[in-house]
Structure 1
Amino acid sequence: STPRQIALYRALIELGIAKDTPAFGHLPYVMGEGNKKLSKRDPQASLNLYRERGFLPEGLLNYLSLLGWSIAEDRDIFSVDELIAAFDIKDVNANPARFDLKKCEHINAEHIRMLDVKAFTEACGPWLKAPFAPWAPEAFDAEKWTRIAPYAQTRVTVLSDITDNVDFLFLDEPVEDEASWTKA
């Protein structure tokens, strides 16, 4: 598709809309489960899936930026400004990158912990209401939530984890998770 993009830019230059043709670069393929090339049809490739699970845009962008590229050997967590300042197409690895959900979740969890408590409580808002919350709307106590939020913030990987971490505050009966009991 690059020749078409170059032709499009040439036309835009002739029309006076663009000043010059940018330099183009290619990023490596991203491999999914089973080391198969990730396709737009794969559920793993859907941004909606990550939004619904409660990934922060900053966390997901941080992880995706590091696929096939590295800024530093000793850390994985970067702000958007750090990523932009450090990016150089020459540092992009030509080999395919492998999508690692655990690492993506880890980076997202770190970005959640970097939020101030007010931003965290607001970001969790959708998961504290129907259809995500297992409690009745009138059972939710905003004051209790505000008090527990700093502690819950240290325990979640994605925002959708919040309901499992605070449900005991708003449900009449405790949730019994047989799988957890068998692990204990």
Structure 2
Amino acid sequence: MAAPRLRIAPSPTGLFHVGTARTALFNWLEARRTGGTFVLRIEDTDVDRNLLEAADGIQRSMEWLGLDWDEGPFFQSERRERHIEAALSLAEAGWAYWSDPMPLAPDGKPERYDGRDRDRGLERAPGRALRFRSPDEGSTRVTDLVRGEPTFPNAVLEDFGLLKGTGGPLFLLANVVDDLDMAITHVVRGEDHLSNTPKYQLLWEAIAPGTPLPLFAHLPLIVNEKRQKLSKRRDKVALEQFRDEGYLPEVMGNFLALLGWSPANGRERFRIDEVVKEFSLADVVPSSAFFDLKKLDSFNGDAIRELGADDLLERVRPFLGGWDPERARPLLSEVQTRIVRLDGVAPMVDFLYLDEPAWDDASWEKAVRQTSGATAGLLGTVADGWARCRWDVEAVREVVVEAGAAAGLNLKKAQAPVRVALTGRSVGPPLFESTVILGRAEAVRRVRAALERVPPPPA
């Protein structure tokens, strides 16, 4: 038996959707498990909506996930003549006929085609579309690895288009012709394509009678917390966005694999290469898969905390906008315990790089209130002490402890305005380690500058 051949065939009309990413992953897993071939095909027949950058984005996103392909990328637009040739052969064989444009409905869109040209014997002419002659009787049964054998009455299948009035091939024609020519053995896609599958089968059998159909697997719908289908207008669905926010690629692959499938042992955290031997399309469930952002954040936070120091440093680098991560290295082990995404690092360490910290007025006002009117004296004492003390974590901490005690404040309250003075915020990495990294001169300067923000005592 020939080795399986699977494909992912996204359209380059926008950002790479997490649903497409899940489909690509399941195809890749099945190909790798079976020793088959994984093909990348860009379905760019919709020339009015195609975006050049989207085709590049598809490839970058798959590379980011670690999904390597064995053949391609192939572009459907480069096979246009082959698609037209196949359509004209169907017309010659009586499987297709020419049709005039449908009149426009009140909303400006063409009316639904009603078969009016089926028996008119129209010739090919500019503006005429070519339609497939769907059977009137019987039914078409689809064998699906996920959904069993759904059956579709042929009477409900319209005579679907093969060639546009402009002469260009339509999606379904190009899809079937390319799958035939590329010897695709498995068609794995989202359940929203299930209704097209009887048309796909009829077209396949008309073009290549006797050629075995591919195995179908229609993956479950991915839904949000309201059990609604993920929508790019409402939900976060672009894989590029998750990448740019600092989700780890291995975590994203792990999470996507669980959208419709799970290992037999019930384990939820794994590397994709660990489950290649376990994965099977036959184990995919048909029920909707919940895209649980809280679970994704939990997975990602856990994975970030498991990173070694050098690995974390390199992964953080793209999120620091050109800043040298080495300066923040001493703080990263603490920072990584507090974030769930890599884009959370910069706001916690930006004070090390900025000439002036990003100031949060609310944090400052709260810190001043906590010191009960002692802020100015406290900061002045800290600045003077830091200007003279030994410059290490223990010494700078002791200065704040003593300054707080002199003002009648415990360490928690005493360090609050000091932290805001240095970092601009009320929360962040360990204060005294941060102070030492910032350096004596800059730390003293910032504390003295904060003195100018202390409100005068009431008259």
Normalising by structure 1, what TM-score?
0.73
State yes or no: 1:167 paired with 2:343: no
Unaligned runs of 5+ in 1: 13-17, 131-139
The residue correspondences of 1:22-171 to structure 2 (distance < 5 A) are: 22=186, 23-39=215-231, 42-71=234-263, 75-129=267-321, 142-171=325-354
The answer to whether the 8 Å contact 1:62/1:77 transfers is yes
The answer to whether the 8 Å contact 2:350/2:357 transfers is no
- 1:135 corresponds in structure 2 to none
State yes or no: 1:176 paired with 2:360: yes
CA shift at 1:115, angstroms? 2.5
- 1:134 corresponds in structure 2 to none
Q: Structure 1 3/142 Cα, relative in aligned 2: closer, same or farther at 3 Å?
A: closer
The answer to whether the 8 Å contact 2:254/2:272 transfers is yes
CA shift at 1:51, angstroms? 1.5
SS in structure 2 of the partner of residue 25 of structure 1: strand
Q: Structure 1 runs of 4+ off > 6 angstroms?
A: 1-4
Q: Structure 1 155/81 Cα, relative in aligned 2: closer, same or farther at 3 Å?
A: same
1:5-55: CA deviations, max 9, x gaps? 56533333xxxxx4x623331210000253211145554211121122111
CA shift at 1:168, angstroms? 4.2
Using the alignment, how far apart are the partners of 1:176 and 1:73 within structure 2?
Answer: 48
The answer to whether the 8 Å contact 1:77/1:110 transfers is no
As a proportion of its length, which structure holds more strand? 2
SS in structure 1 of the partner of residue 216 of structure 2: coil
Count of paired positions: 166
RMSD of the alignment, in Å? Answer: 3.0
SS in structure 2 of the partner of residue 35 of structure 1: coil
Using the alignment, how far apart are the partners of 2:173 and 2:296 within structure 1?
Answer: 34
- 1:8 corresponds in structure 2 to 178
State yes or no: 1:21 paired with 2:191: no
Q: Structure 1 142/92 Cα, relative in aligned 2: closer, same or farther at 3 Å?
A: closer
Q: Structure 1 76/165 Cα, relative in aligned 2: closer, same or farther at 3 Å?
A: farther
Structure showing greater relative contact order (alpha-carbon pairs closer than 8 Å, 6 or more residues apart): 1
CA shift at 1:100, angstroms? 1.0
Using the alignment, how far apart are the partners of 2:284 and 2:228 within structure 1?
Answer: 20
Using the alignment, how far apart are the partners of 1:151 and 1:117 within structure 2?
Answer: 11
Corresponding letter in the other structure for 2:259 = L
Using the alignment, how far apart are the partners of 1:84 and 1:31 within structure 2?
Answer: 25
- 2:89 corresponds in structure 1 to none
- 1:137 corresponds in structure 2 to none
1:46-69: CA deviations, max 9, x gaps? 112112211111111111111122
Using the alignment, how far apart are the partners of 2:301 and 2:255 within structure 1?
Answer: 11
Normalising by structure 2, what TM-score?
0.32
Q: Structure 1 2/152 Cα, relative in aligned 2: closer, same or farther at 3 Å?
A: farther
What percent of counterpart residues are identical? 35
For the pair shown, which has the larger CA radius of gyration, 1 or 2? 2
Corresponding letter in the other structure for 1:62 = N
Q: Structure 1 169/65 Cα, relative in aligned 2: closer, same or farther at 3 Å?
A: same
CA shift at 1:112, angstroms? 1.9
